[in-house]
């Protein structure tokens, strides 16, 4: 399932967000990643509170002035419900090999098999990971959560020394790891963060 709003329409609405640094550059994939991070890392109960805390309570003013807030939030809340369904910690722990978060990410079904060392992560995956990581940027995380977040952050690394150092540390045969495996590991890490956050909330 894709985001309920068509990509160009969603991005035109995101560009209206006041007081959001770089709002005109927010992509649909980035925003989907941000919502996923708000759920998995922050354990947010609903998206409005997470957006208020992250972007300030004035984020919706321009949308309200143009009577676009209902359309925007309708799409956000529908996607949030999808994420909650796919990322229920109790369900995830029953089948640790499953990757239901991919159902909410159309790009996750068509992954390249080129080496990760080339830095060739698809732009959609890179943007999603950037949003996910940004959702947690002001949080103080425990050791386990920080390590899981680092796996997601790896998708944002371009070719170069930092990516090579990560691959050397994370994998026994870093030069043979395909981009698809790097992405799968990041999605599993996102799910593990959701399990961890829900466990701490109980």
Instruction: Choose among 143, 178, 150: nearest CA to 165.
Output: 150
Give the C-alpha separation, 51 to 41, whole Å. 14
pLDDT of residue 21: 67
Half-sphere exposure of 87 (CA within 13 A, CB side): 34
Which sequence spans correspond to the domains of the chain?
7-201
pLDDT value of position 167: 92
pLDDT score at 23: 63
pLDDT tens digits for the chain (202 residues)?
Answer: 567 888 899 999 998 886 666 666 789 999 999 999 999 999 999 999 999 988 888 888 989 999 999 999 999 999 999 999 999 988 899 998 999 999 888 888 888 778 888 878 899 999 999 999 999 887 888 999 999 999 999 999 988 889 999 999 999 988 889 999 999 999 999 999 999 998 765 4
CA distances from 94 to 88, 98, 144 (A): 10, 9, 20
On whether the CB atoms of residues 121 and 179 are closer than 8 A, the answer is: yes
What does pTM read for this prediction?
0.92
pLDDT of 75 reads: 93
Q: What angle do CA 120, 125, 129 make, to 5 degrees?
A: 115
R_g over Cα of the chain = 17
């Amino acid at each position: 399932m894709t985001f309920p709003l068509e990509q160009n329409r969603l991005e035109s609405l995101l560009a209206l967000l006041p007081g959001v640094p770089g709002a005109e550059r927010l992509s649909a994939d980035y925003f989907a990643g941000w919502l996923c991070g708000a759920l998995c890392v922050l354990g947010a109960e609903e998206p409005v509170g997470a957006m208020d805390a992250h972007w300030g309570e004035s984020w919706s003013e321009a949308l309200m002035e143009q009577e676009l807030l209902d359309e925007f939030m309708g799409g956000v809340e529908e996607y949030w419900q999808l994420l909650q369904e796919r990322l229920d910690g109790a369900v995830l722990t029953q089948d640790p090999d499953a990757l239901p978060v991919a159902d909410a990410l159309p790009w996750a079904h068509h992954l390249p098999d080129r080496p990760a060392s080339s830095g060739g992560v698809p732009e959609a995956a890179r943007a999603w990971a950037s949003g996910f990581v940004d959702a947690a940027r002001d949080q103080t995380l425990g050791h386990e959560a920080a390590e899981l977040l680092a796996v997601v952050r790896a998708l944002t690394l371009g070719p170069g020394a930092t990516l090579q150092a990560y691959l050397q540390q994370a994998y026994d045969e870093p030069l043979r790891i395909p981009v698809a495996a790097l992405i799968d590991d990041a999605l599993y890490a996102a799910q593990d963060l959701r399990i961890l956050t829900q466990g701490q909330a109980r």
